[in-house]
Structure 1
Amino acid sequence: MKVILFGASGMVGQGVLRACIEDEGVTEIVAVVRRPLGRSARKLREVLHADFTDFAPIAADLAGADACFWSLGVSAVGRSASEYEKITYTYTLAAAQAVAAGNPHVTFVYVSGEGTDSTEQGRAAWARIKGRTENALLAMDMRAYAFRPGWIQPVHGETSGTRLYRLLYQLTSWLYPVLKRLAPHSVTSTESLGRAMIAAARLGGAGPRILRTRQINQLGNLRP
């Protein structure tokens, strides 16, 4: 399985990359990044690319993929709606169109989030934008899934690129075992999320297209 990975430097992306490296069924990982990741693996190939609105220059690297995992995301805090929309919607759709060009059998897994607004009518701008992104992806000629995890716990040293999130995880890490016991269907981990994305790529387009934490954890526990 050839996998294209976006957002490999982020907390979720680090977990997805680790899962892909460990999965014997994943034979090639193409990580599209703006800066080198600083790590190596036999089946990992980094493709440096600056303009995430135009992937034509790297079309050959994206061609023939079996799956594309989109874990690139930013916080809406401190950003204008237009900037957040560009990163969340425009970048994602540009990548999906490039990956799916001439390849309708590719599986595109988009990491969205709990609270995403599929109606695109709610009060929260971030939720509307994510909902618009999900809706556009699901309408494309490809096998698309939207993951809506709640609490995501890093379990193998993954760290967020956002300073505020890093601090938040440091202060609240003790809550994870408590939440896992009291509300197991509201929390997942970077490991389960990564495994679930790979499992979704093996579904062949079957099953629900929008998956929440409980379904993500169920998929993450499957083995090929």
Structure 2
Amino acid sequence: MRVLLFGATGMVGQGVMRECLRDGRVESVLAVVRAPLGFTHPKLRAVVHEDFADFSSLEGEFADVDTVFYCLGVSSVGMGEDAYRRITYDYTLAAARALPADPELTFVYVSGEGTDSTEQGRSMWARVKGRTENELLAMDFRAYMFRPGFIQAVHGATSRTRLYRTLYVVIGPLYPLLRRLIPRHVTTTENLGRAMIAVVGRAGEGERVLASPEINKAAAEA
């Protein structure tokens, strides 16, 4: 498995990268980042790239990958629809369109619980996520949409958003209770990474949209 990873410096991306580097099924990880990661690993290579709306200069780098884990995303809090759509929709589709034409390639996109597949709801972020999912599912590769609810950061993964970091400090210790009370709405960064690796082996079969229960089940099976 030759993985192309977006969002490696975010909380989810950190967790996914950790699992990729630990898993023997993953041969290599190519991380597209805006700044150096600050560490090295025999399986890891980072490419610094500034314009996430245009990956045409990296098409040669992408030519050898067979798996994409797209973990790049931002909170919609305080953002207008145009700015949120640029990061959530435009950047994601720019990356997808720069990939080699290969129906055997697997693309796993981290979306979110509550995403609006109809693209008609009142929630701006849910509509934009829904449009992004729909576009990816219609493309000529094996696409999987991950829709986690609450994500517990483990193994040192941290959010780059100050508000989220504060919330995780407060809510983090309550994760065991949340797991008992609302098990269908919680997962971990570790489970996300393990589940992503697991669905690559499905060859396009099974559910294409996975919420927290399906994510946790795939992680356990991995």
| TM-score between the two structures when normalised by the length of structure 1 | 0.97
Residues 1:79 and 2:79 are matched in the alignment? yes
Q: How far, CA to CA, are the matches of 1:215 and 1:98 in structure 2? A: 29
Summarize deviations over 1:129-181 as a string: whole Å, max 9, x none: 00000000000011000000011001111100000100110111121010112
Secondary structure at the counterpart of residue 200 of structure 1: helix
Does residue 183 in structure 1 map to residue 182 in structure 2? yes
Confirm or deny that 1:18 pairs with 2:18: yes
- Aligned position for 2:131: 132
- Given that residues 4 and 29 in structure 2 are in contact (C-alpha distance below 8 angstroms), is that contact kept between their aligned partners in structure 1? yes
**3-state DSSP of counterpart to 2:98:** helix
What amino acid is aligned across from residue 167 of structure 1 in structure 2? T
**Matched AA of 1:107:** T
Q: Distance in 2 between matches of 1:117 and 1:196?
A: 22
Any conservation in 1 of the 2:101–2:140 contact (CA below 8 Å)? no
Name which of structure 1's ranges 172-181 and 66-75 shifts more when overlaid on structure 2: 172-181
1:57 and 1:98 map into 2 onto residues whose CA distance is: 9
Deviations 1:13-66 (A, max 9, x none): 000000000000101100000001112111000011111111111111111211
Structure 1 stretches of 4+ moved >3 Å: none
Partner of 2:200: 201
Which residue in the other structure is 1:148 paired with? 147
> Which ranges in structure 1 are unaligned for 5 or more consecutive residues?
none
Is the 8 Å Cα contact of residues 34 and 48 (structure 1) preserved in structure 2?
Answer: yes
Shift of 1:104: 2.0
CA distance in 2, matches of 1:174, 1:2: 35
Pairwise CA distance, 1:182: 2.1
Query: Unaligned stretches of 5+ in structure 2?
Result: none
Aligned partner of residue 25 in structure 1, secondary structure: coil
Instruction: Give the Cα separation in 1 of the matches to 2:54 and 2:185.
Output: 36
* Map of 1:97 onto structure 2: 97
Partner amino acid, structure 2, of 1:199: A
> Number of paired residues?
222
8 Å contact from structure 1 (residues 9, 37) kept in 2: yes
Q: CA deviation at 1:205?
A: 0.6
1:80, distance to aligned residue in structure 2 (A): 1.1
